[in-house]
Amino acid sequence: MKDKITLRKIPYPYKAALAICSDLDKINREKFDQIHDFLSSNKPTLLGNGLELEIADSFWMYSSSSDTVNAFSYFEGISEKPSYNAIKIEEMISAGFIDSLHTYGDFSEYPGFNRELAKRALAQMHKKNMKISVWINHGNIHNFQNIGIKTALGDVEYISAVDGGKRKCIEYHADLTLPFGFKYLWIDELTEIVGQERPCGIIEAVFSKLFESKPTKSLFHKLMLILVSFLLILQNKLSLKLKINVVLNKLFPKAFNGNNDLIKVITLRDGQKAYSFKRYGRFGVDNADALPKLLSKPTLKKLKHNMGIMVLFVHLAKSDNQKNIFSTQACDALRYLSAQEKSGQIYVTTTSKLLHYTVLKKFLKWRAQHRPDEIEIIIEKVEDPVYGDYIPTVQQLQGITFYVPDAQKISVSINGNKIPVSRNLPDFTGKESVTIPLTRLKYPNNINA
């Protein structure tokens, strides 16, 4: 009877899920406080009352400058001295409102990154229990610390020497970084398809590239290519779907990869496996002034319609607005998102929590045991293809929701122990469900460090 019990795609009662994943470029302590007091606290701010959203940020361990008043880094420059920001960063990581490392530092200028800096940073993070699971590549080609791209050396153990031999790469750090706990890597992949982890049709994929991106070829040229390609396809005996994918990959080799997954398993150049995730957005349309477009009502409506899961690419501290950190239009867009979250429409949470939920749901193994007076859902394990099988904790399972025939007759257990669940009335599908309750982050309003 397992067919009567299924996993709900999104935590109840939501129709979609969204994380705002911000890179910290141009941020300093003052901007950080202004942004997150408004986004995540419940106190009055210069922009109005706080929105109480679970929106986390990123940080650096180092900066290319010792001016930590204008650089949100843990250390002063590349020294071992904790900066003015250090305690704030520690506390926000502990609270869950910093969950990403935007590489070890801003090394777009001299002095550059090396392996010893990674060792020192990880030692301090271990000492201070700074648990971070999301790594985000950063900056220009001088950021050799980046992982998984041709212009970077972060996951390259050896490089060719002048004499024809090999030498150890001084920028290599992936063997230290990933085992520390960085599970999710953003390499450089962006998508303009609204909502991942849901089916995406060929037409939608094509039109998202033709009309939402700046064309690399003329629009007329692309349309003609597609028209000719379809005429050729109709005459070919091979699979229609196969040929369309071939055409799309020729037209959009980087943007269309045949799937719409939020995460995928990748193998780095040093042989390690990791999760890579994509973000929704576009290079050049990624600052705070773009929030009205990125979070427009039609975009969020489409996200809900498709029951999509999406990680938004943005730089919250970048803005042309001189008066406030966010423009009036950006504030309106954020308030609308907050209203959607509070009304149970869109689950807004941090990048790390959303990625973890996506992985866990994708690889969760469970079974249903029927008895005369109840049905027990037994959580067996998570078959994680990167980190191996494990039995999840209740905290790790938060948000997991099962559609069930009768919520009052359901129990959920792990290792023979029943765990608390919320019993839900029928949602928009008409189905009842049970949920392992979500635990909301508590914004640390009293941090004065």
Domain containing 362 equals 353-435
Identify the domain boundary among 350, 383, 403.
350
Distance CA 215, CA 438 (A): 42
Amino acid at 14: Y
Residues 6+ apart with CB under 8 A from 277: 184, 185, 186, 189, 262, 263, 264, 311, 355
The answer to whether residue 363 is domain-embedded is: yes
Q: Is residue 368 part of a domain?
A: yes
Q: List the structure tokens of 70.
A: 């204008």
Identify the bridge partners of residue 432 per DSSP, sorted by sequence position. Answer: 404
What is the pTM for the complete model shown?
0.90
What total of structural domains would you count in the chain?
3
Residues 293, 299, 300, 303, CA torsion sign: negative
**Do 173 and 300 have their domain in common?**
yes
Residue type, 203: I
Domain closes at, from 228, 251, 274: 251
Same domain, 53 and 184: yes
User: Does 316 lie in the same domain as 280?
Assistant: yes
Decide: 93 and 132 in contact? Cβ < 8 Å: yes
Least Cα distance to 11 among 282, 345, 303, 274 occurs for 345
| Tens place of pLDDT per residue across the chain (449 aa) | 445 899 999 999 999 999 999 999 999 999 999 999 999 999 999 999 999 999 999 999 998 765 656 689 999 999 999 999 999 999 999 999 999 999 999 887 767 899 999 999 999 999 999 999 999 999 877 789 999 998 899 999 998 877 778 889 999 999 999 999 999 999 999 998 999 999 876 667 666 665 544 444 566 666 666 665 565 555 555 555 555 556 655 655 554 555 799 999 999 999 999 999 999 999 999 999 999 999 999 999 999 999 999 999 999 999 887 678 999 999 999 999 999 999 999 999 999 999 999 999 999 999 999 998 999 999 999 999 999 999 999 999 999 999 999 999 999 999 999 999 999 999 999 999 999 999 999 999 765 54
| Beta carbons within 10 angstroms of residue 443's beta carbon | 23
- Both 271 and 386 in a single domain? no
Asked if 172 and 263 sit in the same domain, the reply is yes
In a domain, 14, yes or no: no
**273 and 176 share one domain:** yes
Q: Residues 243, 274: one domain?
A: no
pLDDT at position 216, please? Answer: 46
Residue 35 lies in a domain: yes
Structural domain contains residue 441: no
Residue 112 CB contacts under 8 Å (≥ 6 apart), including other chains: 142, 144, 171
Q: Assess whether 298 and 174 both reside in one domain.
A: yes
* Secondary structure string (H, E, C) spanning the chain: CHHHCEECCCCCCCCEEEEEEECCCCCCHHHHHHHHHHHHCCCEECCEECCCCCCCEEEECECCCCCCCCCCECECCCCCCECCCHHHHHHHHHHCCEEEECCCECCCCCCCCCHHHHHHHHHHHHHCCCCCCEEECCCCCCCCCCCCCCCCCCCCCEEECCCCCEEECCCCCHHHHHHHCCCEEECCCEECCCCECCCCCHHHHHHHHHHHCCCCCCHHHHHHHHHHHHHHHHHCCCCHHHHHHHHHHHHCCCCCCCCCCCEEEEECCCCCEEEEECEECECCECEHHHHHHHCCHHHHHHHHHCCCEEEEEEECCCCCCCCCCCCHHHHHHHHHHHHHHHCCCEEECCHHHHHHHHHHHHHEEEEEEECCCCEEEEEEEEEECCCEEECCCCCCCCCCEEEECCHHHEEEEECCEEECCEEECCCCCCCEEEECCCCCCCCCCCCCC
| 187 and 211, same domain (yes or no) | no
Do residues 148 and 276 make contact, with C-beta atoms less than 8 angstroms apart?
yes
Domain boundary among 213, 234, 251: 251
Residue 58 in tokens:
């990123």
- In sequence order, which residues have a C-beta less than 8 Å from that of residue 364 and are 6 or more positions away? 7, 379, 382, 392, 400
Is there a domain that residue 2 lies in? no
Is the domain of 264 the same as that of 189?
yes
Same domain, 50 and 187: yes
Is beta strand 98-101 parallel, antiparallel or unpaired with respect to 134-136?
parallel
In a domain, 182, yes or no: yes
Do residues 226 and 275 lie in contact, with contact meaning Cβ atoms separated by under 8 Å? no
In a domain, 206, yes or no: yes
One domain for residues 168 and 275: yes
- CA–CA separation, 201 vs 150, rounded Å? 31
In single-letter form, the type of residue at position 145 comes to Q
Distance CA 390, CA 380 (A): 9
